Amino acid sequence: MEGKIRVLVAKPGLDGHDRGAKIVARALRDAGMEVIYTGLHQTAEMIVQTAIQEDVKVVGLSLLSGAHMTLFTDVTRILKEKGMDDVLVLGGGIIPEDDIPKLRESGIKGIFGPGTPMDDIVSFIKENVEE
């Protein structure tokens, strides 16, 4: 069976630009993945609904503002409610050190700060996706 890793790259919240998310999306595509890109202003519900329909193995969330805690944990909570807890959830952006334990606890496995080399994200996904 010739599976491909399908990843949803989403930008929750209301803040303005998605440059970072796009860079990640392109890097994952160049690493041979199928990347579903949904653009700005996604609610947690929209992200989960998209993850279900696209049957992705990975959801990458990008965030700039301070509202990440609730937005990130909303996504993992709704994923769980919908029985999608086998999805690997990653978060990227400016995330205060103090918040990291709580995010991990909520089910966000990979947390990547600004300037993380793309190769690190790619290999993290390849190592952690359940076959």
Partner 1 sequence: MKDLGQRVLDGEQRAIAKMITLSENNSPEAAREMKVLHPASGRAQIIGITGVMGAGKSTLVSELAMEYRKMGKTVGIIAIDPTSPFTGGALLGDRIRMTKLTEDEGIFIRSMGTRGMLGGLTSAVYDVVEIMDAAGKDIIMVETVGVGQAEVDIIKIADTTVVVLVPGLGDSIQAIKAGIMEIADIYVVNKADRPGFDRIMAEIESLVDLTTEAGKRSIPIIPTVAKTGEGIAELRASVDEHLELLNGTNEFQANRRRRYEAELIEIIRKRLMNLIFDESIFKERIEGLIDQIEAKEKDPYSAAEEILSQVLK
Which residues of the chain form contacts with partner 1 (CB under 8 A)?
A: 1-4, 6, 25-26, 28-39, 41-42, 45-46, 49-50, 52-55, 82-84
Least distance (Å) between residue 47 CB and partner 1: 9
- Whichever of 57 and 68 has its CB closer to partner 1, that residue is 57
Least distance (Å) between residue 63 CB and partner 1: 18
- Whichever of 36 and 103 has its CB closer to partner 1, that residue is 36
Q: Which two tokens stand for residue 1?
A: 């069976």
- Whichever of 37 and 72 has its CB closer to partner 1, that residue is 37
- Whichever of 42 and 76 has its CB closer to partner 1, that residue is 42
Least distance (Å) between residue 77 CB and partner 1: 17
User: Cα(129)–Cα(131) distance, rounded to whole angstroms?
Assistant: 6
Q: Where are the alpha helices (DSSP H) in the chain?
A: 19-30, 44-54, 68-81, 100-106, 118-128
Q: How far is CA 64 from CA 4, 16, 40, 54, 127, in A?
A: 29, 9, 12, 25, 26
List 93's β-bridge partners, or say none: 63
List 91's β-bridge partners, or say none: 61, 111
Least distance (Å) between residue 1 CB and partner 1: 5
